[in-house]
Amino acid sequence: MKKSEEIKKNCEKMNANKEKEIARLEGLIKNATASIDKAKEKLLTATENEDAAAYEKADAELKKNEILKEMYAGKIESVKSTPVLDDATYKEYVNTLYGDTKELYAKHYSGIRNKLESIETDIRTLLDERQENIFTLAYIQRVYNYKDCQDNTQRGLLFLGREKPGDTFIDFYLADIVRGIQILTEWLSKNGVK
């Protein structure tokens, strides 16, 4: 099982235990409320019958159940306001997930980084060779005093990385890719991924 799944299950289990405790306390409040109602009836009956001993017993029962109801209500608020995770467990889970993520980067991204560096090298080679072709085309046009015929203009645009006038230079896209690769490889290096 993945560490993240295990942590999630532990958190769900702790939350379920919290909900069970709240439900248990609500049940105790319900029982105390029912006992309060019975004690009030006994008080009324004892008052009508002028039975001091029954009155004293019913009054004690009423007070006891009112205190219990108040105590359980306070306990519910305490349980609800208490986080499922204590600080130590939370920090342990954060450190575990951070370490696991770092291992994933180390395991998977080192191979990706090598591939990206290879792609960057290929793009740089392509751009360098294309630039050399542009210089050669300019040299030929200048040396041979070539006029702008349609065929030559079309070839020149392809050398510049465009298929027709007005197109965006492919160089811009390739340069963006190279910059993205550089940013990613720098980030991987800074974060200890090799």
Closest C-alpha to 75, from 23, 36, 35, 38: 23
pLDDT of the residue at 13: 93
Q: Compute the distance between CA of residue 181 and CA of residue 119 in angstroms, rounded to an integer.
A: 9
pLDDT of the residue at 101: 80
Q: Compute the distance between CA of residue 127 and CA of residue 175 in angstroms, rounded to an integer.
A: 9
CA torsion 73-76-80-81 (nearest 10°) is 60
Closest C-alpha to 47, from 61, 37, 57: 57
172 confidence band (pLDDT: 50, 70, 90): low
pLDDT in tens, 54-109: 889 999 999 999 999 999 999 999 999 988 888 898 899 888 888 888 887 777 77
Scanning the structure block, which residue is given the tokens 């696991």? 100
Angle at 135 between CA 132 and CA 136, to 5 degrees: 85
Contact 161, 107 (CB under 8 A): no
Query: How does the average pLDDT of the chain come out, rounded?
Result: 79
pLDDT of the residue at 98: 85
Half-sphere exposure of 188 (CA within 13 A, CB side): 22
Distances (CA, A) of 83 to 2, 20, 89, 184: 24, 15, 11, 37
